[in-house]
Amino acid sequence: MGIFPLALDGLIGHSGTLLVYLLIGFAFGYVLEMAGFGYAPKLAGQFYLTDMTVLKVMFGGIIVAMVLVFAATGLGLLDYNLIWVNPTYLWPGIVGGLIMGVGFIVGGLCPGTSLVALATFKIDGLFYVLGVFFGIFLFGETVDNFSIFWNSSYLGRLTLMDVFHLDAGVVVLLVVLMALGMFAGAELLEKVFGERNLRIEPKARFAGAAVMIALALAVLAIGQPSTEDRWAAVSQAKTAALTERQVQIQPGEVLHLMHEHDLTLVLLDVRSESDYNLFHLADARRITPEALPELLPEFRLEPATTVFLVMSNDETAATTIWKTMVAESVMNAYIVEGGINGWLDAFGAGDDRITPTAAGGDDELRYAFASALGESYPASFPDPQKFELTYDERVKLELKRGPAGKGCG
């Protein structure tokens, strides 16, 4: 699924990646300057309703990017799951927006445009940038005093699709229509408060509006890929990895990972509640296929050193969950080889409370337990010093996408 986003470090190396970032930053600054965003009075006109260029340029950029992103996703050229979307911290975000808004009104610049003003040798840009640095220093020195509030009202990767439970294509069309309505209202305000003559404005803006509506309708018609579509796009390579046993982690390696402090290990048990209550690995989290879609955004936000291990009684149910996680771009997901049955084959001997039973059907628990003790059995967290198991090391951390810059701030 998808060609983009690209892992630039792997393609052109670290130095090449820095050069690309430099060129993008220069181009972004150049566009801001050409739009007049290095001139504080022009930006301040936004708040006096005399010049709405800020709204039109920035919101125009937002809807163009939005349409292109979801069009590329619908065509299978882009994996939207790998695009960084800032996690939402509702109340800290509101307070931060208010603080930045006041600074914008008072100084006439935002952090990004202040750098443009500085680059063009404007004295107000210099003082604004110095103020930004002072504010960063002051925040760093005082954040411990309000860290609880700073990390409060966490909502994760929240989008309009999540809030309104709408398809991406519907949201794209509605946002484009909303933006065009705002542009029309902005021109009316400029006419009333800024005495702007709309008759001399370029007529091409109406053609641009028509193109945006047409593209939004195309995104709606194309639709977004389902989990099945995503799996079909990666199935050839991933099925080969399954067949060659590259993603099934042997019990010995799992035990090693459980004692590896440089990694974050997430153990996902997909068995029935009764089997889970009888016995499960220490710190294993029981999940169901129905709950998985809501958990995927959480999994994608885990740090790059996180390894997901999925387990069932054998491997059948775990493999199904693993396919969904892989299709939905959860990095570093693996299957516990042999499942819980295989784990107990390796570590359950010597405990009289755990006894093998007659072979059952596929993915059925083949052990009986004296009591439903969950993770209280020693086999749930074996002492690695008591076992000498050889294994083929199969866990290889994949590259995860990191945060990206955004907006003029």
Tens of pLDDT, residues 30-82: 988 988 899 999 999 999 999 999 999 989 999 999 999 999 999 999 999 98
Confidence at residue 114, expressed as pLDDT on a 0 to 100 scale: 93
> Alpha helix (H) ranges present in 152-262?
160-164, 168-193, 204-222, 227-243, 251-258
- The pLDDT of residue 407 is 53
Q: Please report where in the chains the tokens 């050839």 appear, as a residue.
A: 236
Residues 42, 96 share a domain: yes
Q: Specify the residue for token string 């390796």.
A: 346
Question: pLDDT class for 141, splitting at 50, 70, 90?
Answer: very high
**Which residue type is seen at 48?**
Y
Residue 394 belongs to some domain of the structure:
no
Instruction: Decide if 275 is inside a domain.
Output: yes
Residue 329 has pLDDT above 80, yes or no: yes
Q: Above pLDDT 90, what percent of the chain?
A: 75
| 293 upstream amide cis, omega within 30 of 0 | no
Structural domain contains residue 301:
yes
Considering the domain architecture, whether residues 146 and 285 belong to the same structural domain is answered as: no
pLDDT tens, position by position, 167-179: 999 999 999 999 9
- State mean pLDDT over 325-331: 94
How confident is the prediction for the chain on average, in pLDDT? 91
Quick one: 138 and 27 in the same domain? yes
Domain count, the chain: 2
405 falls within a domain:
no
In Å, the largest CA–CA distance within the chain is 90
Domain shared by 214 and 293, yes or no: no
Report yes or no on 218 lying in a domain. Answer: yes
Average pLDDT over every residue of 350-369: 90
CB of 245 closer than 8 Å to CB of 315: no
- Domain boundary among the residues 202, 225, 248 is at 225
Q: How much is the pLDDT for 9?
A: 77
Q: What is the pLDDT of residue 247?
A: 96
Boundaries of domain holding 374:
228-386
Average pLDDT on 267-292 reads 97
Is 169 a member of any domain?
Answer: yes
Q: Is the pLDDT of residue 28 over 70?
A: yes
Residues 197 and 235 placed together within one structural domain of the fold: no
| N-term to C-term CA, the chain | 32
Count CB-CB contacts under 10 A for residue 135: 14
Q: How far is CA 66 from CA 9, 166, 279, 373, 404, in A?
A: 25, 15, 47, 51, 15
pLDDT score recorded for residue 318: 97
Q: Is residue 105 scored above 80 in pLDDT?
A: yes
**Residue 376: what residue type?**
S
Q: Which of 161, 195, 225 is the last residue of a domain?
A: 225
Per-residue pLDDT at 4: 73
Any idea what the Cα angle at residue 274 is, between residues 271 and 278, rounded to 5°? 95
162, 269: one domain: no
Residues 235 and 367 placed together within one structural domain of the fold: yes
pLDDT band at 153 (very low <50, low <70, confident <90, very high): very high
Contacts (Cβ under 8 Å, ≥6 apart) of 25: none
Residue type, position 154, single letter: Y
Query: Domain for residue 406, yes or no?
Result: no
Q: What is the pLDDT of residue 82?
A: 87
Helix, strand and coil percent figures for the chain, each rounded to 5: 55, 10, 35
Do 251 and 212 fall into the same domain? no
255 and 269 housed in the same domain: yes
What confidence category does residue 400 fall into, taking pLDDT thresholds of 50, 70 and 90? low
Contact status, residue 96 vs residue 151, Cβ threshold 8 Å: no
* 403 band by pLDDT with thresholds 50, 70 and 90: low
Is 293 in the same domain as 200?
no
Q: Dump pLDDT digits (tens) for 202-241.
A: 899 999 999 999 999 999 999 999 999 999 989 999 999 9
Q: Is the dihedral of CA 194, 197, 198, 201 positive or negative?
A: negative
pLDDT band per the 50, 70, 90 thresholds, residue 268: very high
Give bridge partners of residue 88 from the DSSP assignment. 156
| Together in a domain, 209 and 247 | no
Q: How much is the pLDDT for 199?
A: 87
Q: What is the pLDDT of residue 201?
A: 87
The answer on pLDDT for 260 being more than 90 is: no
Cβ within 8 Å of residue 5, ≥6 positions away: 78, 79, 82, 83, 401
Q: What is the average pLDDT across 243-253?
A: 95
**CATH code of residue 350:** 3.40.250.10
Of 225, 243, 259, which residue constitutes the final position of a domain?
A: 225
Residue count (the chain): 409
Q: Is the pLDDT of residue 401 over 70?
A: no
Do both 13 and 134 map to the same domain?
yes
Other CB atoms within 10 A of residue 379 CB: 21
> What digits encode the pLDDT tens for the residues 371-395?
999 999 999 999 988 887 788 999 9
- Residues near 233 by beta carbon (within 8 Å), at least 6 away in sequence: 1, 2, 76, 225
> Is residue 391, in this structure, part of any structural domain at all?
no
